[in-house]
Amino acid sequence: MDKTNLLIIVTVISLFISLFLAFFLVTVKTKNKLSNSIFALFLLITVVDTIEPLFNLMADGPSNLGMLRNTFAFLQIPAFYLYIVSVCYSDFKFKPKHLAHLLPFLIVNAVLAARFYAVDLASKINFINNRQDMIELQFTHILFHLQTAVYIIAVFMLLRKAKKLYLENYAGTSVTSYNWLFQFTIVLTVLYLITLFKNIFKFSDYPYISEWIKIGLLVFQLLIICWYLFKALNHPDLFRNIDSKLKLVSDIISEEENSELAVNEEVYQEELLKLKMYMTEEKPFLNPSLTIQDVSAAIQIPVRDLSILINHKLEQHFYDFINTYRIENAMTILRDNAKSKVTVLEILYEVGFNSKSSFNTAFKKHTGHTPTDYRKSL
């Protein structure tokens, strides 16, 4: 099998899977309709980027449509960023300011207008054949990698903040699903790094190396798309989003440094006692989707004060604070001889977890043992 046939086969398979997954995302019934639609858009933009072998097979030579297809790469990373934002924040909506993400795409096409879009076929062929000397193409590639670096850094910063907000305000085990976004970002970062090396060789004295790397990238992208499909079919409702208006406790503390914290020591002790009594008597931790807002409403302590009480005064994330009660409850069940026949899986659901991996992680963090080892040691 020659290189051309291999490229065509891989491209056709990637095209089919991408379009199938995009169709699935826009038709599946879920509350995450907007984020799914943005992910579908990301897939479609990726399709436009990866169909180059098929496009070249049908084209007689360089064309305006072909160059426009190439510049769609500048829309891929912004779509990825907006997908991350829409998944992290439940109140995300498209706003006019988001049109700024189109600027690199528009700038590149404006730069290419004079010496590519506006010239005849012979001039286009000359432009492509002498691409190593064309300042427009050099600028295009530099801008692409600069754009990629900025967005990747922004995504990692966003995920870091979003995970902290989740831990400070939610106690659902779905926090582990942030691994999906982190893995997604890592995979794309690796993909873009390989693309960087490909483009370096493209403008060097060894352009054939760039062609072989391109084949490797197409195969890699096919594997990534299959991974997307696996995730989408197994986890159509990835995880609970957070409100972007929520603030980190560290930011709240910083805001109140000049006016002292609103809660003095006496009030702090009263609120802590009320909180502990509520946790012990009402056992709200049995609710796997418990939030700090739920607890706040039940014990009538403002969310802001309760967040400071748990995340700052007790020096525990709300997520860990709630899991402590869940694990203590699980330990009680494990010690009960009358419940020796109850499985670990049944126990984790009973105490408020809905994921075996999250339960095992929290249990080992709290006790130093897995639930099974803990039961055997009794």
Question: How many C-beta atoms surround the C-beta of residue 369 within 10 A?
Answer: 13
Of 22, 15, 60, nearest in space to 39 by CA: 22
Residue 259 has pLDDT above 50, yes or no: no
Rounded to an integer, what distance in angstroms lies between the CA atom of residue 203 and that of residue 283? 64
- Tokens, residue 364: 């080992």
Determine the Cα angle at 163 with ends 158 and 164, to 5°.
Answer: 100
Q: Are 250 and 43 in contact (CB under 8 A)?
A: no
Tell me the per-residue pLDDT of 300-341, one tens digit each, with 9 for 90 and over: 888 888 888 888 788 888 888 888 999 999 999 888 888 888
Nearest residue to 162 via CA among 77, 89, 92, 250: 89
pLDDT tens by residue, 97-140: 999 999 999 999 999 998 899 988 888 888 888 877 788 888 99
Coil/strand/helix, residue 89: strand
pLDDT digits (tens, 9 = 90+) for 151-199: 999 999 988 888 777 777 776 645 555 677 788 888 888 888 888 777 7
Over residues 254-270, the mean pLDDT reads: 61
Residue 262 has pLDDT above 80, yes or no: no
| Mean pLDDT score of the chain | 80
**Average pLDDT for residues 204-216, to the nearest whole number?**
71
